[in-house]
Amino acid sequence: MLEKVTERIYYMMPSNETGRPLIGLVIGDDHCLIVDSGNSPKHAREFQLELEKMELPPIKYLVLTHHHCDHSFGMSQWNLVSIANYKTKEYLKTYQEIT
């Protein structure tokens, strides 16, 4: 279930038990933006299922706050324009080389 902050901002509660961080939703007039991708594809999919219950403009953007795995390892579940700091991008490239 998503928690409502304002009419245009929602988030999924983090869980210390599972290491699941907060994922955010910002609703714009024409598009939506997701904040962080989740700690895994499963986590991202749980968030997506909640989004499907809402009437939203198309989701177009994914912003990563930083490179840590609990905020970025759900990226494969999203087919969105991704926005991140240059250093975050470099860390993510390093992770790809390791796997």
CATH number at residue 61: 3.60.15.10
* Host domain of residue 66: 2-98
Taking the C-alpha atoms of residue 82 and residue 11, their distance in angstroms, rounded to an integer, is 18
What's the average model confidence in pLDDT over 16-34?
A: 92
The secondary structure of residue 45, as a DSSP letter, is H
Q: To the nearest whole number, what is the mean pLDDT of the chain?
A: 91
In DSSP terms, 34 is beta-bridged to 25, 62
What's the average model confidence in pLDDT over 39-68?
A: 94
Taking the C-alpha atoms of residue 75 and residue 78, their distance in angstroms, rounded to an integer, is 5
Please tell me whether residue 93 adopts helix, strand or coil conformation. helix
Taking the C-alpha atoms of residue 26 and residue 40, their distance in angstroms, rounded to an integer, is 21
Number of compact structural domains in the chain: 1
What's the average model confidence in pLDDT over 4-30?
A: 92
User: Who has greater pLDDT, 52 or 97?
Assistant: 52
- Give percent above pLDDT 70 in the chain: 99
